[in-house]
Amino acid sequence: MPKGVPTSIPDDGLTTRQRRNAPVLAVNTGDGKGKSTAAFGMAMRAWNAGMSVAVFQFVKSAKWRVGEESALRALGEVHTATGQGAPVSWFKMGSGWSWLRANDAAAADHAQAARDGWREIARCLASEEHDFYVLDEFTYPLDWGWIDVDEVVSVLSQRPGRQHVIITGRRAPAKLIDAADLVTEMVKVKHPMDAGRKGQKGIEW
Amino acid sequence: MPKGVPTSIPDDGLTTRQRRNAPVLAVNTGDGKGKSTAAFGMAMRAWNAGMSVAVFQFVKSAKWRVGEESALRALGEVHTATGQGAPVSWFKMGSGWSWLRANDAAAADHAQAARDGWREIARCLASEEHDFYVLDEFTYPLDWGWIDVDEVVSVLSQRPGRQHVIITGRRAPAKLIDAADLVTEMVKVKHPMDAGRKGQKGIEW
């Protein structure tokens, strides 16, 4: 997309510089593909701009996001080795919320694990620990009522400093969409599985 | 998206394994954000699966894709240094089509440069040079009539081996959509520029 002129200049008392540096809350939703993939693509870009990246993955499966995780972790190691880019952190719900429940992952209640994950995100935001957050598939615990949408919107709206947050998943709650700066809906036009194709490594995960 | 069971099993004489390994032609189109970003996210995933990645960038601007380019190049260097992942190649229209017009970039006719780029892609596909191709913003030279859509569809449909191709950009021609396996439309729901915000490094590029 062209980086063109805004369609209007808001009367918000901010300078152009302040507006350019405003932290972004983005939501990628809809039933089509590319919601998370685009968020990870943005994370690559953020990494290159020197923003420390933190991914919070709200879906637990062995295969999920392995490609993105190891590529982003490799970029984190590039930063450690050469100083290029920025640090990368990756947290997984369930077994991955290890700072909270190292020893009872097998018995973890998913709703509680999701709430613990959100609590950790809120803590990170309050202390400005990262520059760029991907809350991957975070709309589901919101949609299922596991995490309170009003609290999430309140914490996100009041986050200090310049922390960008990208949230992905279907059925994003209306209050979250209202609070977001950038909302994109991915719409499925055609999918290989409709023609009986199977998912495959490197394409689907 | 879940890697679930296909909605139907086609009567195409292929085994499940053959269907799982079928090369994918994907198109990310629409007016919303995330078309290219999702393609670069897929490229990360392909890199991790050991597929050699080639990006052909059909828009020429100093700032465009700098983040994705340097992150993907860094991953290519990780491969060179450690063997993890796969090689990454990045080609830019105009000055970047250096294998064809090293000395007349300034005077390059854009339509001719786009055609030269396409010719190089067709050559790579014929010789199976890469495993995963991103033809970034490739719909524009098609939409503008610079490159013949029928020829593109014919070359893509007959490409040998197992080469995945992801094409991005608005206004994807109907014939290309017909030929594709996976088509996603990115729809803008809300954009910061609507509120007078400016594009910013690490987010927009």
Give the model's confidence band at B138: pLDDT under 50 very low, under 70 low, under 90 confident, else very high: very high
**Do B166 and B134 form a contact (C-beta atoms < 8 A)?**
yes
Please state which of the ranges A114-118, B55-59, B93-97, B125-129 shows the lowest mean pLDDT: B93-97
**Do B57 and B65 form a contact (C-beta atoms < 8 A)?**
yes
Distance (Å) from the alpha carbon of A146 to chain B's nearest alpha carbon: 20
Q: For A84, name the nearest residue in chain B, comparing CA atoms only.
A: B74
Region B36-50: mean pLDDT is 95
Q: Is the pLDDT of residue A105 over 50?
A: no
| Contact between chains at A63 and B3 (C-beta distance less than 8 A) | yes
| Contact between chains at B84 and A66 (C-beta distance less than 8 A) | no
For residue A43, with 0-12 CB atoms within 10 Å meaning exposed, 13-18 middle and 19 or more buried, which class applies?
Answer: buried
Distance (Å) from the alpha carbon of B31 to chain A's nearest alpha carbon: 8
Please state which of the ranges A109-113, B16-20, B82-86, B151-155 shows the lowest mean pLDDT: B16-20
User: Which of chain B's residues have a Cβ under 8 Å away from the Cβ of A36?
Assistant: 41
Beta-carbon contacts of B13 under 8 Å, excluding residues fewer than 6 positions away, are: none
Helix, strand or coil for residue A4? Answer: coil
Please state which of the ranges A145-149, A190-194, B78-82 shows the lowest mean pLDDT: A190-194
Pairwise CA distance, residues B9 & B11, whole Å: 7
- Confidence (pLDDT) at B64: 73
- Confidence (pLDDT) at B144: 87
Segment of A31-35, A104-108, B197-201 carrying the highest mean pLDDT: A31-35
User: Which of chain B's residues have a Cβ under 8 Å away from the Cβ of A20?
Assistant: 197-200
- Confidence (pLDDT) at B107: 38
Give the model's confidence band at A44: pLDDT under 50 very low, under 70 low, under 90 confident, else very high: very high
Q: What angle do helix axes A66-82 and B35-48 make, rounded to 10 degrees?
A: 80
Cβ burial A154-184 (10 Å sphere, 16+ → b, else e): ebbeebeeebbbbbbbbebbeebeebbbbbb
Region A15-36: mean pLDDT is 83
From edge to edge, which strands make up the β-sheet containing A25-29? A88-92, A53-57, A132-136, A164-168, A25-29, A182-190, B182-190, B25-29, B164-168, B132-136, B53-57, B88-92
Structural domains of chain B, with CATH = 21-184 (3.40.50.300)
**Do B67 and B202 form a contact (C-beta atoms < 8 A)?**
yes
Pairwise CA distance, residues B182 & B172, whole Å: 13
Region A168-191: mean pLDDT is 93
- Confidence (pLDDT) at A52: 97
| Contact between chains at A45 and B33 (C-beta distance less than 8 A) | no
| Contact between chains at B199 and A22 (C-beta distance less than 8 A) | no
Q: Is the pLDDT of residue B44 over 90?
A: yes
| Contact between chains at B203 and A36 (C-beta distance less than 8 A) | no
Mean of the per-residue pLDDT values of chain B = 84
Question: What predicted TM-score, i.e. pTM, was given to this entire model?
Answer: 0.81
- Confidence (pLDDT) at A14: 59
Q: Report helix, strand and coil shares of chain A as percent, to nearest 5.
A: 40, 15, 45
Region A144-169: mean pLDDT is 96
Pairwise CA distance, residues B166 & B168, whole Å: 7
- Confidence (pLDDT) at A76: 97
Q: Extract the runs of DSSP E, i.e. beta strands, from B86-201.
A: 88-92, 132-136, 164-168, 182-190
Q: Is the pLDDT of residue A149 over 70?
A: yes
The phi, psi pair for A97, rounded to 5°, reads -75, 50
Q: Is the pLDDT of residue A103 over 70?
A: no
Distance (Å) from the alpha carbon of B9 to chain A's nearest alpha carbon: 5
Q: What angle do CA B66, B132, A205 make, to 5 degrees?
A: 95
Give the model's confidence band at A22: pLDDT under 50 very low, under 70 low, under 90 confident, else very high: confident
- Confidence (pLDDT) at A20: 60
Count other C-beta atoms under 10 Å from residue A88's C-beta: 26
Give the model's confidence band at A3: pLDDT under 50 very low, under 70 low, under 90 confident, else very high: very low
Q: Is the pLDDT of residue B9 over 50?
A: yes
